[in-house]
Structures are given as C-alpha cells and as structure tokens.
Amino acid sequence: MNTNSSLIYQVGQRMMAGFDGPYLDEAFIQLIKKWKIGNVILFAWNITGKEQLRELCRDIQKLVQEETGRPAFIAIDQEGGAVSRLPGDATRIPGAMAIAATGNPDNAYAAGRMTAEELLALGVNFNLAPVLDVNSNDANPVIGVRSYGEKPETVIQYALPMMRGLDAGGVLSCAKHFPGHGDTSVDSHLALPTVDKSVDELWENELVPFQAAAKAGIPAVMSSHILFPKLDAKQPATLSRSILTDLLRKEMGYEGLIMTDCMEMKAIQHTVGTVQGTVDAIKAGADMVLISHTASVAEASAIAIREALEAGEIDAAEWEQSLARISALKDNYLDRPVPDYAIVGCESNMEANFKLLQETLTPIRVPGGKFPELGENPYFLGCPAFRATMVSNRDDDPFSFPVYMAEKLGGTALVSSSDPAAEEIAELVKQASQASCIVVGTYNGHLYKGQLELVNSLAAGSAPVVAVALRNPYDLRHLNPTVWSLAAYEYTDQVFDAVANVLQGKAAATGKPTVTVLSE
C-alpha cells in the first residue's frame, strides 16, 4: 500500500457518513470504495423493519470490511421516546425525561441494556445516546424531553446507568451535546445558537454531567454546534480548539472518542461551510467527523482533510492519536458476542418495556385526586404528530392521537391543526359541546400556543377536560386549574395505549416530573 493510498484509509477511519433510503445506493457504495469511509450512521429513513435493518447492516459491514480491512462503526440515534429510529417490530424504550420520571435509575440501566442487545442483534454497534444536556430552558426547541431533567444531578443519576446498560449490552454509548445544548432557544439544525454564560455558570450546570461521564469512562462524546462566547468568542464548540482540546481533553481529562454532530447542519453549513468545517473540527481536536446525508459532500470533505494533512495543517501526532483511539474502540467493541436475533422485539422485552412506559406517565394536576370517567360520549382532540425539530424522523407520522384513542376507547375524534387560531378553536368547541368528557393531546403546545388556547376554551364548557402532553410537559403549565393534566412525553401508539389504561382506571399514573411544570 503506497503512502497516498494509506492516507485515504486513514481519512476514511476518521469519518462517519450516511445515505438516504433502505438500501445502499450507488453514490454511497462508490464513496466507500473510493474514499474508504470506515463508519456509517443510520436514520429512520434507512429502516423499514427489523429484518431489513439486519440485512442492511450486513451489507454495510461486508462493503466496509472489504474496502477498508476493518469493521465499521454503525451508529444510530436510539435515545428512546421522541428520538427513536428503531421500527415498531423492535423494542422502543421511553425517552430520557420519561425514564427519569419513574424515579428509579435502575430503569435507565435496564432500558440501555435492552436497547443495546437489540441493536447489536440487528448489526448496530454504536448508539448516539445518552443525552447529557441539562434542559434548563423550557423554550428549548430541540432538547426538551430528550433531557433527563433540569438539574445536573438528575442527568447524572440517569444518564450514567443508561451508559452502563448500553455497555453491558455490547454497544458504544455517546454523551451529547458537549458542552451542553440544554439552555438554547435555537435549533442548531437550523441556525447557530449562542449560550452566553460565564465559565463559572457552565461549570455549575452544563459541564457537570459531562465531567461525570468523562470520569466514568464513556467511550464517546459528541460536540455541539453552539457558540459559547466565554469559552471561545469566535468558534462554535465543534470547531473550537479551546473547547474540544483545552477544556474537554486537558482540563476535564477525557480520553475517549470525540466526534462531531452532523456537519451538514445549518449551524455549520451556513457559516464556515461543511467541507471547511470538517477540517476545522479535526484541527480543534475532533477524532471523527459526521456527515449524515450527502455522498458528494462527504467526498469533498475527505479530499479537504487529506489535503490539509498533506500540507502539514493538521498535527501529525494528534492525527495518529485519533487513529489509535478509533482502532482501540473497534478492537474493544466490535468483536463482542452478538445476541440471538430472536431477542429483537421479543415478547418479554415488549412486556418489560410497556410496564416501564406505564410507570413514566406523570400526573401534573389531578383535581379531586383522580381522573374523570370518560362517560358515554367521550371526545378526543389534538393535532397529528409533526416534525417538531429537525432531529425528528423525516416524515410526519400519519396517525393521530384523537383518531387512535377514539378507535381504541370509543367516542369521537376531532383532529386540529398544530396551532389553531380563534375561528378553528370556536368550531372545535362547538363540535365537542355534547361530550361527556374531553381528552386533548398537546404536542409542543408551549411553543404552539393555539393548542393551549383550545384546551382552555374547552375547559370553559361543562364537560371535564383532560390534557395529555405528548412531548414536553411544559404544555401543561398555563392551563385552567380545572383541567386534569398528564405528561406522557412521546407521540407513539405505545404511549397512547398506556394513557388509555390511565383514562380507563386500569393503571395509576405514578411518575414525578424532573422539570418544573407548575410553580406552586
């Protein structure tokens, strides 16, 4: 192997790329063959079912091993809850805030281990979780329920067991989004957020979970595309040597893999640009750069990285150290025993997961101490799921809470828009005027306030009203005190089933919120 060829292999090990669709496409195959990309990320649009996912992972490993001589990291964002990539025939654990609401850190470990075993059986060996962000800003459009809570201690209490569960199941875990995405009001998929906190404030809040994870030996940390002016006045974390090398590596003593969030996100793409950004990230101290979507962009980035290395712009010793980190993790994780495929979505996992899901449901306000009876003519209202953040799966789910609940429990379904205006609200209130009980599902209503106006307008009538927050529990903060309210944390059929059990009196809602919903 000549030096130039060897360099291509090395660049490929330091990159992770993705593609569209459920099968390897020609552009991606050629990317692997020409540029020896050694690691792959999968999203929901790559997955149609567990058998297809297993075959796809086999195809990826065969191709990457043939072309690079090393197995691939195959990564996925299987956080649980609102950010789940696994299909419905696999087990989809609740999200971070939901698991923390159970009050039992053992649930985080169990969820992590169950997830890891199923991922590994499918061929996925790298889970981009847990989220270590402290969700201290309730207007945060991208983290919210993906965080374990609003206090660093809560995040540590649940994130570290999740990490250990993933490790016990044989899968790498990844702490994200360093140094913290919890106090932003901008989605970094769309623009560059700024967190203008002092260094002391960051050490009191954002950095605390990451320091704990570093000490616990988490295998990977993902950087965020966020500007922290008190740490680096010019560069976002992903491109900042003072943040990735001076802070994370040196001051915090982190020895594992540093990887970037996707370099095609607008926070990078619309500022320095994806291609230059990949070079800058490596110079800053990132071991692996992530380009999730476009083969041509990944190719241009590979060329730019190689040219920067050949020109002496990238420190040669650090380059070798990064290659050694990646190689050591592959040696450690990628020869672990693979669980039997039958474990994926097996009955015992599904039952354990639904029991856990039932425990996550959190009563926020329950006038009289119990939820009202549905009666003879219940009405179910709410909007369909929509893409609340760019980290969500690409297509909006076709089913809706009101339709699902009316079919399951009997009654009438009224589907609203995501942010109903006065005229629509008046019409929905009129249509529900004969209801014996009204159940409204909200979905980021604290950001789409027409949903909350709808709930409060319905509460002015004679029928009891139950509001169910199907993503962030902050929706329930500004409702009429006469409204019964329940935090459910995710918009899925499995959580709808758990909510139905509570509404029918078959199960109690026992969760405790880990963020402030009501001030009293």
List the catalytic residues.
261
Starting from the edge strand earliest in sequence, which strands make up the sheet with 465-469, in order?
362-365, 484-487, 465-469, 437-442, 378-382, 412-415
- Tokens 């209490």 locate to 157
Q: How far is CA 31 from CA 8, 45, 67, 499, in A?
A: 12, 19, 10, 46
3-class SS shares of the chain: helix, strand, coil, % to 5: 45, 15, 45
Alpha-carbon gap, residue 243 to 177, rounded angstroms:
13
Residue (of 164, 167, 144) closest to 156 by Cα position:
164
Strand partners, 259: 222, 288
The one-letter amino acid at 342 = A
The one-letter amino acid at 59 = D
Q: How far is CA 150 from CA 77, 128, 144, 347, 516, in A?
A: 22, 21, 9, 34, 8
Alpha-carbon gap, residue 515 to 215, rounded angstroms:
26
Residue (of 138, 175, 238) closest to 514 by Cα position:
138
Phi and psi torsions of 21, nearest 5°: 90, 165
Q: Two tokens at 96? A: 């971070």
Alpha-carbon gap, residue 375 to 411, rounded angstroms:
9
Alpha-carbon gap, residue 212 to 8, rounded angstroms:
36
Q: If you write DSSP's letter for every residue of 61-77 in order, what string do you get?
A: HHHHHHHHSSPPEEEE-
Strand partners, 207: none
Alpha-carbon gap, residue 260 to 26, rounded angstroms:
26
Q: Two tokens at 66? A: 């043939």
Neighbours of 334 (CB within 10 A): 17
Alpha-carbon gap, residue 373 to 484, rounded angstroms:
12
DSSP code of residue 285: T
Alpha-carbon gap, residue 94 to 84, rounded angstroms:
9
Q: How far is CA 301 from CA 2, 114, 196, in A?
A: 21, 36, 30
Beta strand pairing status for 484-487 and 362-365? antiparallel
Q: Two tokens at 8? A: 């291509």
Q: Note whether 347 and 353 are within 8 A (CB).
A: no
